[in-house]
């Protein structure tokens, strides 16, 4: 009797409002785990606050080995924030710490927005999942400890004004990894001598994956298998490389594979390695003396089992 293949792949969950990222991962993990058996491994490709909705890539089984492709990817958001107030958490879930009576025009907002495009220095919120001396910043902040956050350089690729109905501003943001949208709203408001309290936040995309890829909690419960994308799809930005059966076996043993192509005009690059339709893992293609050589990086246990 042939045993079923272990669950592996990606779910692009449209995370519901109020769920933490961990709660979302646990729910998907529960749905795909067999009752009475050890739960499958699961993780996500980029934290979303409970206030936020939208694209949360959830990786199952062997796919968790490639979570960094989501964590390190550019992301797009739609955010609405209130210029008339600010809170300790920089969003509507926190305690209001300041109110602002003045008003501004749309022209004034548009005038300062270019200052927040391109590479910028940004200080993350103290209520965030960043670790300080091994502890989450938000845990320290809630205990009343003084939390000092270091600024970091992030990139705002595109900043588009969608609507302005004072005091509410709605923007679409395309940004690099590590960007905190709550910090962006805070800093835009501060530049105007006002607040910047986030009232709505939705992630539209991770790594260029379109909104249409997202599935709701209800869809996931109704047709979970159809919602699961293969790991190979998640690796779409890596060049595919085909090996023979013999080469596949050697690759899966951790051996470097010399290809028959010459190394002239070939760039070093990361590759997704296949034998036919079977994903073996990933590697790095480097130039050898006369030929290109594949150096194994990550090998999938399911492929090792298949080619024993």
pLDDT digits (tens, 9 = 90+) for 220-251: 999 999 999 999 999 999 999 999 999 999 99
Q: Which of left, alpha, beta for 128 (phi over 0: left; psi -120 to 50: alpha)?
A: beta
Contact 58, 13 (CB under 8 A): yes
121 is catalytic: no
Q: Which CATH superfamily is domain 75-206 in?
A: Pseudouridine synthase (3.30.2350.10)
DSSP reduced 3-state for 82: strand
The predicted pLDDT at position 101 comes to: 95
Residue spans per domain, the chain: 9-72+209-231, 75-206, 238-306
Instruction: Write the CA distances from 182 to 45, 53, 118, 168, 226, integer angstroms.
Output: 19, 14, 17, 14, 34
With residues binned 3-state (H G I as helix, E B as strand, rest as coil), the percentages for the chain, rounded to 5, are 25, 35, 35
How far is 120 from 166, CA to CA, in rounded Å? 26
Q: For residues 302 and 62, is the Cβ–Cβ distance under 8 A?
A: yes
245-290, pLDDT tens digit by residue? 999 999 999 999 998 765 556 778 999 999 999 999 999 999 887 8
Residues contacting residue 81 through CB under 8 Å, at least 6 positions apart: 168, 169, 185, 188, 189, 196, 197, 198, 199
**Fold category of 238-306 in CATH:** 2.30.130
- The pLDDT value recorded for residue 128 is 65
* CATH assignment, 9-72+209-231: 3.30.2350.10
Equal CATH topology for 75-206 and 238-306: no
Q: What is the pTM for the complete model shown?
A: 0.91
- Condensed to tens digits (0 to 9), the pLDDT of residues 106-140 reads 999 999 999 999 999 999 887 666 666 666 666 66
């Amino acid at each position: 009797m042939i045993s079923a293949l272990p669950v592996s792949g990606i779910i692009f969950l449209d995370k519901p409002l109020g769920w933490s990222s961990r709660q979302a991962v646990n729910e998907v993990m529960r749905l795909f785990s067999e009752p009475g058996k050890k739960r499958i491994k699961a993780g996500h490709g980029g934290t979303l606050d409970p206030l936020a909705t939208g694209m949360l890539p959830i990786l199952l089984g062997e796919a968790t080995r490639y979570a960094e492709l989501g964590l390190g990817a550019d992301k797009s958001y739609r955010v609405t924030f209130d210029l008339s107030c600010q809170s300790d958490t920089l969003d509507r879930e926190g305690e209001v710490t300041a109110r602002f009576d003045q008003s501004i025009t749309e022209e004034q907002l548009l005038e300062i927005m270019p200052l927040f495009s391109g590479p910028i220095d940004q200080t993350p919120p103290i209520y965030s999942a960043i670790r300080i001396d091994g502890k989450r910043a938000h845990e320290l902040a809630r205990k009343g400890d003084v939390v000092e956050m270091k600024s970091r350089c992030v990139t705002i690729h595109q900043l588009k004004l969608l609507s302005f109905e004072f005091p509410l501003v709605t923007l679409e943001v395309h940004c690099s990894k590590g960007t905190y949208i709550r910090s962006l709203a805070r800093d835009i408001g501060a530049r105007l001598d006002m607040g910047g309290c986030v009232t709505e936040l939705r992630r539209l995309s991770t790594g260029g994956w379109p909104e249409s890829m997202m599935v709701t909690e209800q869809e996931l419960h109704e047709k979970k298998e159809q919602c699961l994308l293969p790991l190979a799809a998640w690796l779409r930005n890596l060049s595919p490389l085909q090996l023979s059966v013999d080469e596949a076996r050697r690759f899966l043993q951790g051996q470097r594979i010399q290809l028959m192509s010459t190394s002239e005009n070939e760039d070093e690059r990361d590759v997704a390695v296949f034998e036919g339709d079977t994903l073996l893992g990933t590697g790095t293609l480097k130039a050898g003396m006369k030929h290109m050589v594949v150096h194994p990086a990550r090998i999938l246990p399911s492929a090792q089992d298949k080619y024993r």
